[in-house]
A and B are shown apart, each in its own frame.
Chain A
């Protein structure tokens, strides 16, 4: 790959021999696009819990929908020499996602938390970390446009943002499971595993990524994938155990354990793996 500059920032074009599945900046765009699209369903399900009681709860749904369409158009341009306006779309979607995420963070904390500022009010407020997924996706879009993809910093930024995601995931794992006081011991698994991911990604950002550390990192990320799939299974289990009749399935999805939440482990592992792959390729490339 070689980098070129456009008025909208550095550009990455595939070399004639490169395939799209080895084009990491392009894969990052696909990652953001797929996440944004998935958030339409995820946020719709989450906000259905209280029947969209506040009009602002529709904002992330509409934004995720509009952002997905806009970004899909922009990503479609990736297969040909990139148009100037398609990069601009990425900037607009990216900055808007950051704003939506930060506004959601404040909204989720609600009046109750700000009134009492207690552990209990934090636990039982809406998951305040969740809206930051928009902010994270926005940062990834900006990163992919503002950082030179051929430099090692590109991969480090990915790892750094994945670290942010795992910090949030650790917080969500603690707070979500604190709602029922870690009634089942298995609820500690995501806390331990996400803490492990935070630890290894902190070190990957702060220290030189040695081959041994990268291998350990891949192992930890594999553990995240296993945990995510296990968690999704455990969250879905009550639906199968009790045999929810079809008319009540939607309610069971809305009010039961969040079925998509554990998949965040898999999602973030994919993002972090992209970063590790880049570091591996650049830091340990044969000279």
Chain B
């Protein structure tokens, strides 16, 4: 080859080499979270999904992009790929799960799911409406170990009377937190963490719990808003760091608590838990409240949460006062139900539930006013102990006595 040709070929090779080096350099500049994935589909998912969904469903992309997941390199396919037992479908080159459940989250958050399954948020929540029919024998056996009688039970009679539409759109809207999934798992973490935001902050906001824990039958959010905890939180929430990892949360991050601080978080050496039942010592939801099986241990844990801010003397006195309200409410509900039982025994009430106006008043007595008084006592809501609770308990007890007298007077006629 003559010299001129050699020069030309040499220049061509230099240009080609520079281009190749440039391509290598650009590839090396990309974040390893995008490039170091176990499958090519997972690499593609770091950008391809958003290239369409940014246009088609922009809100979910925006939510995802500010989530902790994005900072940790979790991409769309990590969550949306089908797990064992999940139905799948093909979507523009990707195989996706038809529906995401707690099983998808459990790929990384197995311990949180293990704790959740031991809580009343899991199977007992769904069984409270639907009964045990949707659960497998193994699921019932597992849940009954922790919450005896809460899953092996019939469907809710009131829900049945209200009908399928009301149950599906109403009751199940909240109780689906413990719905059994076709893949064998239970529930969906997104009830509290939302779907694409997957936010710790969101789960810590009282309003998130208040999506379901509200209204006359379980007025926790209203009681919290009235409590000093709620007032402090609303006044100072902009100063709080609500995104802190639960393991590392301190009172400096959140000097006043929200629901999750007391029931779930790990302040003061407490173990973080997704078992929201773990620090509860009484069955406050019941007509006549009883102590839970692990009463002492559960209460000790809750008191430990309180002691991050309060002296142990204050905490002990506070619990003693709350328990006095519980016992007093038990007595009031017991007296009320004794009259109800005698009316039923005397034939003034049919054995069928919810077929007479008086039965709705009976239900409201413990389900609304009894519960409200007890929750108010434990959550620092004096107005709910008094006016929304005990005042109503007294007024309705007097009313019932009058009604009983009236019914019995007809008997003597």
Contacts and interface: CB of A to CB of B under 8 A. Distances in A.
B30 interface: yes
Contacts of A210: 2, 4-5, 8
Contacts of B311: none
Contacts of B16: 192, 195-196, 198-200
A181 B5 contact: no
B12 A179 contact: no
Contacts of A174: 23, 26-27
Interface string A114-149: 000001100111100000000000000000000000
Contact of A251 (B6, B20, B51, B90): B90
Given A196-B12, A196-B16, A180 B92 contact: no
Contact of B54 (A112, A192, A200, A208): A112
Contact of B37 (A53, A181, A192): A181
B48 interface: yes
B63 to A, nearest CB: 16
Interface in A172-203: 174, 178-184, 191-192, 195-196, 198-200, 202-203
Nearest to B1: A212
A192 to B, nearest CB: 6
Contacts of A213: 4-5, 8-9, 12
B20 A195 contact: yes
Contacts of B35: 181
Nearest to A211: B5
A198 B5 contact: no
A199 B5 contact: no
A120 B27 CA distance: 10
B29 interface: yes
A238 to B, nearest CB: 10
Chain B interface size band reads 35 or more
A108 to B, nearest CB: 11
Contact of A182 (B4, B27, B92): B27
Given A183-B43, A212-B2, A248 B90 contact: yes
Contacts of A204: 8
Contact of A199 (B12, B41, B90): B12
Contacts of B34: 120, 181
A4 interface: no
A49 interface: yes
A216 B43 contact: no
B47 A200 contact: no
B12 to A, nearest CB: 4
B13 interface: yes
B145 interface: no
Given A191-B20, A196-B16, A198-B19, A179 B11 contact: no
B44 A180 contact: yes
B44 A179 contact: yes
Contacts of B40: 180-181, 183-184
Contacts of B15: 195, 198-199, 202-203
A180 B20 CA distance: 18
A124 B51 contact: yes
A181 B30 contact: yes
Contacts of A182: 27
A212 B93 contact: no
7 contacts: A198-B19, A200-B9, A210-B8, A212-B8, A213-B4, A216-B5, A251-B90
Interface of A: 49-50, 53, 110, 112, 119-120, 123-126, 170, 174, 178-184, 191-192, 195-196, 198-200, 202-204, 207-208, 210-213, 216, 248, 251, 254-256
Interface of B: 1-2, 4-9, 11-17, 19-20, 23, 26-27, 29-30, 34-37, 39-41, 43-44, 46-48, 50-52, 54-56, 90, 92-94
Given A178-B30, A256-B93, 9 more contacts: A120-B47, A182-B27, A191-B20, A195-B23, A199-B17, A203-B9, A212-B5, A251-B90, A255-B92
